[in-house]
Amino acid sequence: MIEKNEEYVLDIVDQGYEGEGIGKVNGTFPVFVEGALKGEKVRVLIVKTKKNFAYGKLLDIIVRSPERTRPACKISKKCGGCTLQHSSYKGQLDFKWDRVKDCVKKIGKLDPEIVKYPIGMDEPWRYRNKVQLPVGMVKGKLHIGFFEPRSHNIVDMDSCLIQDEVADQVVKLIRDWMFDYKIKPYIRDGKYDENGVVRHIMIRRGFKTNEIMVVIVTNGEKLPYADELVDVLLDNVRGLASVIQNVNSEKTNVILGRKNINLWGDDTISDYIGDFKFNISPQSFFQVNPVQTEVLYGKALEFAELTGNETVFDAYCGTGTITLFLSEKAKKVYGVEIVSGAIKNAKINAEENNVKNAEFILGESEVEIPKLINKGVKADVVVVDPPRKGCEKALLDAITKIDAKRIVYVSCDPSTLARDLQILEEQGYKTVEIQPVDMFPQTSHIENVALLVKDQRGKEK
């Protein structure tokens, strides 16, 4: 039995789902080591023990992986956002490929050979079009940055290498404005200050339109020196289109409140995915990596194999981004979503893009899709893009009763994807291919799009 505060030399034989290295004491007892890479020999200090595993702190790298690189960001170890920055980009893609294959094999009980190599980015930096930053006072110094993992300690940031460069510029301008006019932040040494004003900063950019939105999240409607803030942003931020004050007076970890006050410019900015234009408000959901989103949706459309004669169900349709892509080549698309604001945005997006063959329905997909079936609507293709927890079992049951020829499953979590693929396989579908798409370079996250077809083997018997 290993003990806390003991040191061990370990061979890192694998990596966990968050990218942490895994070594084994005596070849059997796993130790998770953050910052270690597969193939390395490392010296670690045991910092926490459980019944069946332990956590180790990386002390020294005895044998280095050829994929190890020096993190480009000086706060990467503190912030915890980019858990794979110490690996080459090829090493990151290899890890994500292995992760998806492992889930497919162990959870889905499927052949891992169906998983294709991830589609990566030519330039895996500065890809995010939105940043949300907490603002607080830490030991008398203003910090604008990111929360440390599992804490309310703010890591101060002057540049984030996965955010758009304009965000760095805006953060500096707001930092100087708060200092010059003595604007109090809402967080002070990890606790809420009811007399504080600024809670968060959000910056959004349309990659294809170059329109910039700056959102100041405040603890109340009063925002001192708001005009001065607008002036400094106008003087320095090229492409500025919108300055919004969002009011959130609740004692909550939720970043945005319900009320927006327009300080200057438009209420929304716009951007494009493919040929489709989308209006983006402070509360709008919009994929944070628009370059790879186009790749992901293009693959989903390819898997759907639409000819113009098909009816498509799009479950968990959100604001209708995939729905609009499908509408180009489908006869009719029904998008279903439980979030009322998302459905409202989806209808606006369809109208803005003059899409006439998409219908959006508010409600639970597992309830509304059977209603469509009972009305005589039959889908040839079903597309699902569920949240991280995967599809509800009731929805999977409803999908299989549709008897659609093809299912296209878009997933942000390989584990729940594999679980749901196994369920669909048991109910008469065959998983043909899974294509990972790297939407989040430098992190452990990976998106996937899977193609399933109606298994004809049962009918042939």
The owner of tokens 């989806």 is 346
From the candidates 73, 82, 391, 412, which is the catalytic residue?
412
3-class secondary structure, 211: coil
Q: DSSP letter string over 3-33?
A: -TT-EEEEEEEEE-TTS-EEEEETTTEEEEE
Q: 412, 391 in Cβ contact below 8 A? A: no
Rounded Cα distance, 416 and 390, in Å: 5
Q: 265, 249 in Cβ contact below 8 A? A: no
Q: DSSP letter string over 143-202?
A: EEEEEPTTS-PEEE-S--TTB-HHHHHHHHHHHHHHHHTTPPBSEETTEE-TT--EEEEE
Q: Are strands 447-454 and 429-437 parallel, antiparallel or unpaired?
A: antiparallel
Residue 3 burial by CB count (10 A; 0-12/13-18/19+): exposed, middle or buried? exposed
Q: Minimal CA–CA distance to 275: which of 240, 315, 321, 306? A: 321
82 is catalytic: no
Instruction: Report the 10 Å Cβ neighbour count for 338.
Output: 14
User: φ, ψ for residue 371 (rounded to 5)?
Assistant: -65, -40
Rounded Cα distance, 426 and 239, in Å: 52
- Catalytic positions are 412
